[in-house]
Structure 1
Amino acid sequence: MKQLSALLGALVFALLPLLTLAQPTFSTKSGDTPVPPLPVIEKPLDFYTLNTWNANDGLPHNSVNRITQDHEGYLWIATWEGPVRFNGREFLVYDDLSALGASENGVFDISSDGSGETVIASGRRGLMLRHSERTWQVLASADDFVHETVVLADGTLWAAASNAGVLRIDASGARRYYTAQDGLPDTYSQRIFTTGNDAALPRAFHHELWVGTEQGLAVYDATTDRFEAITALPAELVRAVLRMQSGHLAVGMASGLYFCSPELTRCGLYQAFSEGRVSSLLEGVDNELWVGTFAHGVARITASGVDYFGVEQGLPNLHVLDLFLDQEQNLWLGTHGGLVQMRNALFTSFTRRHGANGEFVRAIEQTTDGAIWVGSSEGLTRIFDQYAQSVATSPQLENLSILSLAPLPGNQLLVGSHTDGIFLLQEGKVTHQFGVQQGLSLGEVRSILPLEGKRVWLGTANGILALTLDDKGFQQQFRLNRDDGLASDFVVGLYQDQWTTIWASSIAGLTRLKPQQNGELKVEAIDLAGIGSARNVFAMTEQQQRLWFATDRGLLIYHPETDQWQQLARQHGLPFHSYFSIVFDRDGHLWLGSSRGIVRIDHSSLVQVLNGDTATLNVQLFNSADGIHNHQTNVGGPSAKLAEDGRLWFSTAGGPVVVDPASLQQQDLSPPPIVLEQIIINDTPVDRTHDWDGAIERIRLAYAGLGFRMAQQLEYRVQLRGFDEQWEQRTQTQAEYTSLPAGSFEFAAQVRYPGSQWSEAVTYSFTVPNRFYETLGFWLLILVLGSLTTFGLFRWRLYALQQSRNTLKQLVKEQTKELQLLAHQDDLTRLPNRRAFDQQLRRRFAQAQQQQQPLCLAVIDVDHFKRINDKYLHATGDRILQRVAQLISRTVRQGDFAARWGGEEFTVLLPNTHLAEAKEVCERIRLAIAAQDYSDLKIEEPVTVSIGIACNTQGDASGKLLAAADKALYAAKKGGRNCIRTEA
């Protein structure tokens, strides 16, 4: 059966050109044009979200000639400054001629094969480059400028090569050119298109190959290896060709846009498209047709007709060079003003361009006719059926700064202003006003609460004002302020719950006003300090028998049945502190407006956290990437609204925004692919397909999630398996590890859109080898060296102790010697003292007696020393004694022993010396002392000495020798002093 089906498919494909040529019909009448079935798309093109990139953002050139996508998910862009790879955040420019291996880098076309593993770039002078496995290869050039290339499933490359015709290069490298002689309407070939095996197309249209020439369109017939011209189309330049999923053929030609029936028997000009020449064609997600033009931007063709998007709507340039739909169904435009992304985003923003009367919106409401009313700082806007219209039907509404809105039955609307009080509108016209002149203390009305019995309460900057409203207008009932128990006079919100209790929110607290049976009000200021840290309460709503309050510290939830409060804050997963609006959708999901976007909390997650079943909320954050023109929401009365059709409206600083919560369920938030862009080990780039062999001191891994829907909001988490037990969430797109221990590791990274599932992990395995100090040999060496070192230290310690002991001994010896010296030395003269003399006398006397040698002793006395000492003071006397001692020391012979005996007396032992010889020595002493110059001492008297000498022949005891010498000294003094006497 399968074989039969395949045979029939091949037969239809083979006969299709014959059918096309059998009965060609061409028409320029709109009624005869075989227009394909087109979808109904309610959202005007003007509301699409636009992102642009140009040379200021990293593109090497503003002209984006072609766009494609490879199998990893990267976008590839052809520019005149080289092919460019885009990951959603950064452009990688291939402009290095040495890396490309080419003589020039400018490319006009870029395409990928069926698998996306190979990218072909082509351009001037027949240049063709192949990029595969992250390397470039230069292909043999074509004979002329290459406008466009396609690669078939079998690897065959086809190129539209201008005047050279169509070039085919098969997988073996064989080349062939097709020209007019091979069936082309004209040799000059500009566009080439293949249907491939697109699953959305009927099988009969698979693997078609179309070529657009200067004289018409042709299709390739593989059985004859020739091209067949499509004669149902005019013979003119073909600028674009597309086989649509319905089977219809769309062709952009010099004279306009043409549609052909699937069997190509009828073709006709699409008269509704009359704005300029076609440059490119693309079928959208919903089978709408996108048309790029040379001078009118991009057009979208649906069942409703043609919708244009140009410079006025934000397109950087009107010349659209290419259209491309990526794997996430994002629409990309190549223009002369850069790269453009257009998305039918989740949110729709109404700005001045769309008719809004001012963009700083504070209040949104809906009247009974279904119209949405928007109050801004510049006036009032009415939105109905996607169209916004400024409302200034009464003079009072012109440039009116509006703070609050409230609907009344009969399409009536209450409008609270910043300066002029409150207005009642009927059919958009002011019928009544209550302002300062009517008794309003200030013209500022921040909230309006209609009540039963034609009553209206106003929240103002000076408390609550209660009014009644009838055919005559507004009448004041009473006022409430802090003196009456309000938490604050500055009331920003009023809300009545199902139990008829009225709640007043303010910038300084919350007040509960409870009607009593006697008709009075019980006013109670809620003690927020006892609940949490909130102070400002901005908005209120009711859901699931609970009251919900948006505050400056998250959410407060009140349970009336139990009179209990709960708080949800950042520790529960809320991304911010302050929220200015609060609303539930029909499925119970909670939506919050903040200054940094709109937050959605899943209903089941909310219930689980409130019940204590889980700790963290499942939160999604929406901002400008989702179509919100300005993600700051404002405080107002009210600033968020659930409309009758289920859509949610929010007041923002960039106009009102609307979202259909049901479309969120339809939105495919499948995680994008993630790739490892770069691996650097020890400052060396590494190919992830090759194992690193060597030490790893530092490894840095750069990764990227290739999601283009919300590229700036992608969330990442990484894990180093073998080192980390848990995933680590990151905002950066690289991870770095240093000083890892030895072992095997696997780096893993995942990506997701906020609130969606995590992607499959991209991984890289590597091994950190044992460092030299972690090997067994190293530790054995350390053990041996340690043992030797220990032994050496032990020996050194013993030696050091011995040296210390010897040093100590020497020190003791020297100190002992010093002490001995001090004990035997005279402090003044530095001569031996009397103790030393007595020891020397006994020792030397005994030695002389034993050896029978002579020993003489001289006693020297300074003449008249007492008189000199008394006259010139002791200091002078001491200096004289020092001078005499020096002279004695210098005059005695080697071996003689001089000492200070006491006072002004000195002694000299002269061993082995006879009396006559001793007398000669002493005479030299006497003369030296007498001849010394003492003028520096300022004395007038001469300094002389008397000397007595004795020898050991005088007795057999040392004492007798001393006595004899002393006796001789006495004789010298008595004999006139300054002389020598001996005792024979």
Structure 2
Amino acid sequence: MYLRSLLTLLVMLTALSATPPISAEPLRDYFAEAWTTQDGLPHNSVNSIVQSPDGYLWFATWEGVVRYNGRQFKHFGWGKDTHLRDSGIRTLAITPQGDLLVAGSRGSFARYSEQRWHAMPQLDARINQVLSDHQQRLWIATNNQGLFVQKPDGQIAHFNLQHGLPSLSVKALFEDNKNQLWLGTTGGLAYFDGQSFHIQQDIPNAPVVSLAQDRQGRLLVASERGIYRQSEQGFTLLDSSIPSHGVSQILVDNHDAIWIGTINHGLYRLHQGRLDHKGIYDGLPDSRIKALYQDREGSIWIGTNGGLVRLRKANFTTISSRSGLVGDYVRTVLSTSDGALLVGTSNGLSRIVHGEVSTLPLPLPSGDVPSILSLAETASDYLLGTYSHGLLILNKVTGQVTQFGTEQGLAANHVRSLFVASDGTIWIGTTRGLNRLSKGQLTHFDKQNGLSDEYIMAISEDPYGGIWLGTEMSAQVIHGDQVTNLDITQHSEARSVYGFYPDQSGRYLWLATDRGLIRYRYEDGKTHLIGRQQGLPIDKFWQVLEDDEAALWLTSNLGMIRIPLEAANQVADGQLEKVEYRVFADGDGMLSFQANGTSSPAIAKDAKGDIWVATAKGVVKTSPSDIRRLNPSSLPMQLEAVEIDGVDMTMNLPSELPAHTNRIRFEFVALGYIMPQTIQYKTRLQGFDKTWVERNTSNIAEYTNLPPGDYIFEVEAAYPTSERGKGLGKLRKPFSIAPAFWQRKEVIVAALVLVVALLFIVVSAREHILRHQSEQLKRRVNEQTQALQEQAQRFERLALQDQLTGLENRRSFDSFLKNLGKQTHRNVLAYVAILDIDHFKRINDTWSHDTGDQVIREVGRIITHNTRPGDHAARWGGEEFSLIIKDVDESTAVNICERIRQQVEMADFSHIASGLQVTISAGLKRCDESGNHHRTLVLADQALYHAKENGRNQVQLWQADLPARNSHRTNLDT
């Protein structure tokens, strides 16, 4: 046996020595993440790992089983809810039907299916592993009581040493692609032929702890004597360099790499003949590996005694002090002409060649270790700008260091930027100005030479020999000794320039500024900004560089941003409004995404096209051609929790929710584990939302006061870097809300009928009331109208009536006479008489004005008494009266006036005043046939005047021979 193993070992060593160098990615390039009890694990020992078909990851610990969704752990302990006897879980398995099997101490055994726990056969033994084979038989490996199998009909059979088992302690179970069942025991390897077990003789009699199968279908056996692989000739030792003692786990990934976990030597990986190792000094929390598993996204999950670890190939690889870098705080990087990479840190200078890191000694007379801020290269030397030691010139061949500082004429010992121009001139940017070193001559530029700022952060050269300077105040270009300022304040008040990149087309210079990326066109000197308004997520960028995939890389304190060069030019040319970009940050493999950019260069591209960036925790590298877009074939979605009015209804959510449901809360998750914190969600509630609602990274949606009806809750999720339409996770959950009694259709119809009837009644009653009110209103209006008419008539009568006598007044008389004049052409015969109380002034003077008023009333009464219907009597004014007598001849008119005179003369006025006698005089005139009533009045007035002159108390008919008088008003009553 010993000779056979030795020959096998010699054959393998010969094969390995003939294997050419491989391109397998070393383990150090894998991005590691770890979880412990501080992150939610109930125990740091992770004994087994599986992924269920629904996408969840499950971990077995000594404090129960844990389910992980990428965001948080959910713990399931022992008890009646899980049917587990003890919380110490040793193994997990997935059945062909997709159920989860959980087993461990005290014979604990349970099955999780459709979100519910189910009891399994309870054995009085510690269960090491379970397996459900192609015949749906359930195999149960125990620690000291052999092997049990439960058949599909529920019968349980027990196998022990009498059935051919090499040991009663069974550690591993495995069914290969030929449906052959293999057992790893403390007594070696065995297989089952359907009736009994047989020991595999060509493997040493040593405990077998783990079994696997490679992509060629060959069984891999991990034993305490090493790892053996099956072949047509039997089992042979896999690799002698793998520790022969202490192997605990074995896994074959989807690239046919073999992962080996050990008891106290950490993790190994064998791929394409290369063996890599990862231990506690490389990021593992513990050197004991208890579980290995590869999930659907290709990540390797590692269970240790010190916590859970996940390894994956990330877009970025970080090289830090753990990898041999002289310091973690990296200021500057430079890709050199010999294919190496210089890394300037706060603790000195490192050099990386083909992934190997070394430290370059920098012997200074003072013995100090310089902090490197900037780097450049000439044909014979490396130029190192330092924080406080000026410029160091490191000879490539001898390693000799020459120090060049303020004593040699340098503007300052703080050198933040270096540049070697095409003509060999060395430009040195310091905090106190710029130095030019050419042919041994040192020239100084400061504000007196035209610099707007003496703090020089970046230096570059354009195709026309111009030297560009980036400072905190502006960008400037030097031609010869002439300094010209570039005004960029027009672009959102941009000012500070941290980095330059003259692109390969020779047309543009790109500037990284405090307001975004600015493109300068040499042809006409025009500048264009690509900043927040153009779609970039932040303002300030440190450095800019183009990769071999025609994309620009921008460094910042918030990660690395990559934008297509064509898209950047289209935005600058106004052909696009927004620029496309991708952000690389903490989930992409960087220990720190804070780029250090106020020194230069802080980003570099090596001969292979890899991009290197200086960060606060090492230098990071990425290969743009290998940038991964996260496009899983599917992103499983799960509805993790549903709350209805604050009650958890996840496990028993009815299809129809009760009436009066006020608040519905959905919690969902996309089961992606590469960068779960970046997964973007959007939701739509059909029946409520008209469009999709963007949730960003939030996985919760709430709805309140939804009306009754049918709904479908939908969720879509994707990684932000997924190509459109690829890797979408989708979820649909239909449900309905029952209507309340008053919301049912029949109730609504009945209510509508009742409402219509009530409306009819109300409308009818209202119409009746309105008709009644209208009639009342009409009566009131008529009454008011009549009252107004009567009042108007009263007002009209008052306007035409003399208040003292009750006769019509002068206004009424004039109107009547005017109308009478219009009727004269119809042979209307009428006479006008003007009557005047004789000596009325004497009456007033003798007795009183009140006596005069009473005399006027009494005379008016006599005139009214002698007036016929159709005649018109009026008080003319003062003591004068007028009378229109219609349809009479001259003698009758005279007789009427005479009768009035006589009655006044004969009237007794003693009741008014003792001894009072009153007479009147009258003038009479026939109405003018031409209708000129004014002439009639004048002639009647003349007749009255003659009656007064002839002795008064008489009636005078106007005659043509009467003399004309203008007026008699002054002496009629004297």
TM-score interval (norm. to shorter)? 0.7 to 0.9
1:334 — aligned with what?
303
Structure 2 equivalent of residue 629 of structure 1: 591
Q: Tell me the CA shift for residue 717 of structure 1.
A: 2.2
**1:66 shift after superposition:** 0.4
SS where residue 98 of structure 1 aligns? coil
How far is the alpha carbon of 1:384 from its aligned partner? 0.7
SS in 2 for 1:761: strand
Is 1:55 matched up with 2:46?
Answer: no
Task: Check conservation: 2:77, 2:84, Cα contact below 8 A.
Answer: no
Aligned amino acid, residue 719 of structure 1: R
CA contact (8 A) 1:618 1:755 kept: no
The counterpart of 1:566, out of the listed 514, 521, 528, is 528
- Aligned residue for 2:80, secondary structure, equals helix
- Per the alignment, residue 501 of structure 2 pairs with 541
User: Which residue number corresponds to residue 141 of structure 2?
Assistant: 160
Cα contact 2:635–2:729 (8 A) shared by 1: no
Is 2:706 aligned against 1:740? yes
Q: Check conservation: 2:549, 2:625, Cα contact below 8 A.
A: no
Query: What residue in structure 1 maps to residue 716 of structure 2?
Result: 750
Cα pair 2:61 2:88 within 8 Å, conserved: yes
| Counterparts in 2 of 1:796 and 1:646: CA distance versus 1, 3 Å | same
How far residue 643 of structure 1 moved from its aligned partner, in angstroms, is 0.9
Contact 2:78 2:86 in 1 (8 A): no
Does 1:311 pair with 2:259? no
CA distance in 1, matches of 2:345, 2:666: 49
Moved more, 94-103 or 120-129: 94-103
Work out whether residues 351 and 357 of structure 2, in 8 Å CA contact, stay in contact via their aligned partners in 1. Answer: yes
Q: CA–CA distance in 2 between the matches of 1:588 and 1:46?
A: 28
Aligned to 1:446: 416
1:374 aligns with 343
Q: Answer whether contact 1:239 1:280 (CA < 8 A) is retained.
A: yes
Q: Which amino acid aligns with 2:9?
A: S
SS class of match (1:656): strand
- CA distance in 2 between counterparts of 1:34 and 1:424 reads 47
**In the comparison of the two structures, how many residue pairs are matched?**
755
* Matched letter for residue 149 of structure 2: R
Pair 1:585-2:550 in alignment: no
Change in Cα spacing, 1:644 to 1:736, as seen in structure 2 (3 Å) is same
Give the aligned partner of residue 280 of structure 1.
249
Shift of 1:562: 4.0
For residues 83 and 793 of structure 1, what CA distance do their matches in structure 2 show? Answer: 75
Partner of 2:923: none
| Cα distance in 2 for residues equivalent to 1:453 and 1:611 | 33
Specify the code of the residue in structure 2 equivalent to 1:524: T
RMSD: 3.1
Residue number among 466, 480, 500 corresponding to 2:465 in the alignment: 500
Aligned pair 1:151/2:132, yes or no? Answer: yes
- What is the match of residue 597 of structure 1? 559
1:659 maps to 2:622 = yes
Structure-2 separation of matches of 1:761 and 1:610 = 38
When normalised by structure 1's length, the TM-score is: 0.72
**How many angstroms apart in 1 are the aligned matches of 2:281 and 2:765?**
89
The answer as to whether partners of 1:688 and 1:764 remain within 8 angstroms in 2 is: no
Identity %: 29
Q: Distance in 2 between matches of 1:309 and 1:715?
A: 33
Q: Answer whether contact 1:366 1:407 (CA < 8 A) is retained.
A: no
SS at match of 1:651: strand
User: Is 2:122 the counterpart of 1:141?
Assistant: yes
Output the TM-score relative to the length of structure 2.
0.73
Structure 1 residue 325: Cα displacement: 0.5
* Partner AA of 2:26 in structure 1: P
Contact 2:710 2:735 in 1 (8 A): yes
Aligned mate of 2:9, from 16, 21, 30: 30
Equivalent-residue separation in structure 1 for 2:22 and 2:410 (angstroms): 51
Q: Which of residues 87, 94, 101 in structure 1 aligns to 2:83?
A: 101
2:642 partner amino acid: I
CA contact (8 A) 1:421 1:434 kept: yes
Which residue, out of 477, 481, 484, partners 2:446?
Answer: 481
Counterpart mapping for 1:65-144 below 5 A: 65-95=47-77, 97-115=79-97, 117-144=98-125
Shift of 1:641: 0.6
Q: Deviations over 1:269-294 (max 9, x none)?
A: 74212274011001134322111111
Moved more, 274-283 or 209-218: 274-283
Residues 686/85 of structure 1: CA separation in 2 closer, same or farther (3 Å cut):
closer
| Larger CA deviation: 149-158 vs 32-41 | 32-41
In the alignment, which of 628, 632, 640 is matched to residue 677 of structure 1? 640
Alignment partner, residue 602 of structure 2: 639
**Aligned match of 2:670:** 705
* Whole-angstrom CA distance in 1 between matches of 2:533 and 2:160: 71
Q: Alpha-carbon deviation of 1:604?
A: 5.1
- Corresponding position of 2:383: 414
Per the alignment, residue 231 of structure 2 pairs with 262
Paired with 1:231 and 1:464, the residues of 2 have a C-alpha distance of 79
Partner of residue 941, structure 1: none
Tell me the alpha carbon deviations over residues 778-827 of structure 1, each in whole angstroms, 9 at most, x when there is no partner: 4555556677889999999999xxxxxxxxxxxxxxxxxxxxxxxxxxxx
CA distance in 1, matches of 2:510, 2:330: 23
SS of the residue aligned with 2:89? coil
Give secondary structure in 2 for the equivalent of 1:466. strand
* Per-residue Cα deviation, 1:444-489 (whole angstroms, up to 9, x for no partner): 11111112443111122122211125xxxx531x222233333322
1:122, distance to aligned residue in structure 2 (A): 0.4
Per-residue deviation, 1:393: 4.3
User: Is it true that 1:184 corresponds to 2:144 in the alignment?
Assistant: no
* 1:691-715 C-alpha deviation (Å, 9 max, x unpaired): 1242342211111121111122222
Tell me the distance in 1 between the aligned counterparts of 2:286 and 2:90.
18
Report the secondary structure of 2:587's partner residue: helix
In 1, the alpha carbon distance for the partners of 2:650 and 2:345 equals 57
Distance 2:14 2:135 in 1: 33
- Alpha-carbon distance in 2 for matches of 1:153, 1:265: 25
Give the conservation status (yes or no) of the 8 Å contact 1:34–1:266.
no
Q: CA deviation at 1:769?
A: 4.7
Q: Are the counterparts in 2 of residues 772 and 778 from structure 1 also a CA contact under 8 Å? A: no
Aligned residue for 1:31, secondary structure, equals helix
Q: Once the two structures are superposed, what CA deviation does each residue of 1:73-100 show, in whole Å capped at 9, x if it has no partner?
A: 1001111222111011111111262311
CA, structure 1 residues 414+554, in 2 after alignment: closer, same or farther (shift >3 Å)? Answer: same
Q: Paired residue for 1:300?
A: 269
3-state SS, counterpart of residue 164 of structure 1: coil
Task: State the shift of 1:361 in Å.
Answer: 1.2
Q: Residue 250 of structure 1 aligns to a residue in which SS?
A: strand
1:322-357 CA distances to partner (integer Å, 9 max, x unpaired)? 101111110011111111111232211111111111
Deviation at 1:228, TM superposition (A): 2.5
Letter in 2 for 1:699: I
Contact 1:651 1:657 in 2 (8 A): yes
2:373 maps to which residue? Answer: 403
Distance 1:607 1:406, change over 3 A: same
Task: Encode CA deviations 1:755-776: one digit per residue, 9 max, x unaligned.
Answer: 2135142122233455556544
Distance 2:758 2:669 in 1: 50
| 2:407 aligned counterpart, secondary structure | helix
Check conservation: 1:246, 1:262, Cα contact below 8 A.
Answer: no
1:528 counterpart = 2:522: no
Deviations 1:349-395 (A, max 9, x none): 11111111111111111221111001111111111111111111422
Task: Report the Cα distance in structure 1 between the residues aligned to 2:543 and 2:423, rounded to whole angstroms.
Answer: 28
Higher mean C-alpha displacement, 435-444 vs 40-49: 40-49
